[in-house]
Amino acid sequence: MKNIITLLLIVFTFAGCSNDGDDKTQNPVVGNWKLIKTRNIIQGNNNPIVFTDYSSQNKIYKFDTKSNLTITTGSNIEHYKYEYKIDYLTGDATSGGTKSPVVIIEGVKYGYLFLDGQMILEQSYVDGEDLYLVKQ
């Protein structure tokens, strides 16, 4: 009888385990991405938008599952650390901020969007450059 109770206790213990409480977020940036263009907003003069075309260059951003980013352009290779998470792009909970997907590369925070088959890493919210990439 004690063995049956022990066995049932073990079964119920393992049955209660799940990944529901896991706070890990699926990482949609993992993979190889080709930079096709950048966008900059030039301050002053009605804030013109300037696009730079990179589609003829083979600039590849490789995001791996261990938070490593390797950027390769020809024989030039650069290594960085990155993180994808749901966080405040600007502000925080006390200032009424809203959490959204972000990619942080070496401490620099980018807004994350996936639109029309392109991953867009936005930094225009702080007058930075937006990166447009397509999956390889």
pLDDT band at 7 (very low <50, low <70, confident <90, very high): very low
User: What per-residue confidence (pLDDT) applies to 3?
Assistant: 53
pLDDT at residue 14 tops 60: no
Q: Which residue has the higher pLDDT, 23 or 102?
A: 102
DSSP3 helix / strand / coil % (the chain, rounded to 5): 15, 50, 35
CA–CA distance, 110 with 75 (Å, rounded to integer): 26
pLDDT band at 11 (very low <50, low <70, confident <90, very high): very low
CA–CA distance, 96 with 98 (Å, rounded to integer): 7
Residue linked to tokens 């650390």 = 81
The percentage of the chain sitting over the pLDDT mark of 90, rounded to a whole number, equals 63
Q: Averaged over 41-58, what is the pLDDT?
A: 86
User: What per-residue confidence (pLDDT) applies to 12?
Assistant: 47
Looking at every residue in the chain, the average pLDDT score rounds to 85
86-118 per-position pLDDT tens digit: 999 887 878 878 899 999 999 999 999 999 999
